[in-house]
Structure 1
Amino acid sequence: MLPGAGQHHVELDVPGEFTLSTAAIAVPIRAEGEDDGGFHAPGMEEFFPGAIFGSTELSSFFGFDRIMLVRLVVVVVLLLLLWLATRRASLIPGRGQSLVELGVGFVRHQIAEQIMGKERARPHLAMLTTIFFTVLAMNLAGVVPFLNIGGTSRVGLPLVLALWVFIAYLAAGVRAHGIGKYLKSQLFPAGVPWPAYFLITPIEILQVFVLRPATLTLRLLANMMAGHLMLVLCFSATHFLLLEGGGLIKVTGLLALGGGLFITLFEVFVSVLQAYIFTLLSAIYLNFALEEEH
């Protein structure tokens, strides 16, 4: 190697050398600044915020975070609105009372009585109505400013509601038929050749005791998690592109904003639909428990 060749190497006119060396310097600078700015895609941390007080660690006895606060706010607001709408109930309802009666009537006529019949539905109307209003209000919290996340977007609340339905349909079946007859009707379907029970009965056990509450939980949870992630993604991209993008990139920020508004409206629809589906399946499971055979 000639003397001084090391010094002249950086001055050689090699295509792309200057670009590569510039990128090599810029990359660590960008990496160092990632926590301070730039676009951050939403992830599972959205559903596990830091504790407001206490601790959210698994080893902790109690922790209170933003999602629990949202649930508390929704319950208080829902109870307040129901009380205001019904505290002066009359034969000629006002707007608030009419809205509540519309919701109660929808659950009663379009879900409970449609699936179970009037006589069977009557003892379970209060439960089904409570489930419908609770799931609907918790779902809609995801599109309410300053709340911005559904109370059903973490597994705790959907699981509690599903276990309530699970206990209710087991209790209803045992109360109606007695434990022996109920288990026979659910786990040993009539009209099946007895050797087939070796295959069918384990499936029925899995369905009655595991799949029904699990599907109730996971269907609601997955829909609300997906909706929240899409909303956060669109509005985070809007903020980043409009404020930090340059030139024509800002136009894509407007597209992201439009997408966010569309998904917001779609999320309202999904919130109502999931409240309906959860309540409908609850009524179907209760009806299965009350039937002699299925």
Structure 2
Amino acid sequence: MNLILPLASEGDSGGGFVGPNIGEFFPPVVLFAGTPFELNRIMLVRILVAVVIIVVFWLGTRRMSVVPGRGQSLIEMGLDFVRVGIAEDLLGKKDGKRFLPILTTFFFMIVAMNLTGTVPLLNIAGTSVIGVPLVLAGIAYVTWIYAGLRKHPGKFLRNSLFPPGVPVGLYIIVTPIEILSTFIVRPVTHTLRLLMNMIVGHLLLVLFFLATSFFFFEAPGLFKLFGIGTLAFGFVFTLFELLVAVLQAYVFTILTAVYLQLALADEH
């Protein structure tokens, strides 16, 4: 659990309670300062997550057998969750298998990066800065547009912008709305939904644990008892953040599958 008390922001004078601020998401450079490859704590968390995912899947699948061991069973359960519960359920067996690699990558990458927000010493999600959510949403955006164009090369964009069955005179209203909702709002909300949940979750946890530190070590007299309440709330919100970490990965992945389903639908 995230019971390591976060440090106050730079510039804190040490007197009184200082809450979290947006500077939490712009930590100082740790390695390679002044070069195009400079790394801060969040970038190191992302690299660590990538390495951990690769190692875990390699260890769990290097000795595949008909009767799976414990590691192989866990990996297969996770893969089956994405394959059956998301890919095949929404896209069918053929298209589900086709897009399973990207959906699987999205789910496990986002889960792992979200969970680092509750890991002691890491204490921040790799998805809490816009870079990763934006890149993943961009990949999803290009993928479902490519899928639609490939399956319906002559109709995808036309039917997306000029929905069949709408009176011709209404296209002057409908088409701008379709452009905005499908090709602009969709990727923006796909990005922000993941990003903002991770930002808010981090700020709440930092707030509770900073308040706990303040009440226990700085508050006078009986005010120290408030630290018990903030610590309890911090513990509860840590559990809640674990749930949100998995839920947001599921939501991001299933929305990608839904967009693919819409792009591949025969109506196009």
Fold-level similarity (TM above 0.5): yes
**Which residue is equivalent to 2:149?**
174
Tell me the secondary structure at the aligned position of residue 117 of structure 1: helix
1:88 to 51, 60, 63: 63
For 2:40 and 2:56, the matched residues in 1 are separated by: 24
**Which residue is equivalent to 1:13?**
none
For 1:102 and 1:34, the matched residues in 2 are separated by: 47
The structure with the largest alpha-carbon Rg is 1
Q: Deviations over 1:66-100 (max 9, x none)?
A: 11011011111111111111111111112221111
User: Do the aligned residues in 2 keep the contact of 1:107 with 1:129 (CA within 8 Å)?
Assistant: yes
**Which residue is equivalent to 2:159?**
185
1:160 to 135, 157, 168: 135
Deviation at 1:293, TM superposition (A): 2.5
1:119 to 63, 69, 94: 94
Q: Deviations over 1:120-155 (max 9, x none)?
A: 211100110010000000000100111100000000
Determine if the alignment matches structure 1 residue 50 to structure 2 residue 28.
yes
For 1:34 and 1:75, the matched residues in 2 are separated by: 33
1:149 to 124, 128, 132: 124
User: Do the aligned residues in 2 keep the contact of 1:186 with 1:293 (CA within 8 Å)?
Assistant: no
Unaligned runs of at least 5 residues, structure 2:
1-10
For 1:191 and 1:117, the matched residues in 2 are separated by: 27
Deviation at 1:246, TM superposition (A): 2.5
**Which residue is equivalent to 2:181?**
207
1:68 to 43, 65, 75: 43
Tell me the secondary structure at the aligned position of residue 248 of structure 1: helix
**Which residue is equivalent to 2:197?**
223
User: Do the aligned residues in 2 keep the contact of 1:112 with 1:283 (CA within 8 Å)?
Assistant: yes
**Which residue is equivalent to 1:266?**
240
Tell me the secondary structure at the aligned position of residue 249 of structure 2: helix
Q: Which moved more, 1:110-119 or 1:159-168?
A: 110-119
For 1:97 and 1:190, the matched residues in 2 are separated by: 48
**Which residue is equivalent to 1:293?**
267
Deviation at 1:55, TM superposition (A): 4.9
Q: Deviations over 1:227-263 (max 9, x none)?
A: 0000000011111111112221111001110000000
Unaligned runs of at least 5 residues, structure 1:
1-32
**Which residue is equivalent to 1:232?**
206
Deviation at 1:213, TM superposition (A): 1.1
Tell me the secondary structure at the aligned position of residue 221 of structure 2: coil
User: Do the aligned residues in 2 keep the contact of 1:234 with 1:260 (CA within 8 Å)?
Assistant: yes
Partner amino acid for 1:46? E
For 1:53 and 1:79, the matched residues in 2 are separated by: 23
TM-score, normalised via structure 2 length: 0.92
Partner amino acid for 1:40? V
For 2:61 and 2:94, the matched residues in 1 are separated by: 26
1:276 to 242, 245, 250: 250
**Which residue is equivalent to 1:135?**
110
Q: Deviations over 1:154-181 (max 9, x none)?
A: 0000000000000101111111111x31
Cα 1:103–1:49, aligned 2, differ >3 Å: closer, same or farther?
A: same
Partner amino acid for 1:39? F
Query: Which one scores higher on RCO, CA 8 angstroms, separation ≥ 6?
Result: 2
Tell me the secondary structure at the aligned position of residue 155 of structure 2: helix
**Which residue is equivalent to 1:257?**
231
Q: Deviations over 1:237-294 (max 9, x none)?
A: 1111111122211110011100000000000000010000000000000111111327
User: Do the aligned residues in 2 keep the contact of 1:185 with 1:292 (CA within 8 Å)?
Assistant: no
Tell me the secondary structure at the aligned position of residue 90 of structure 1: coil
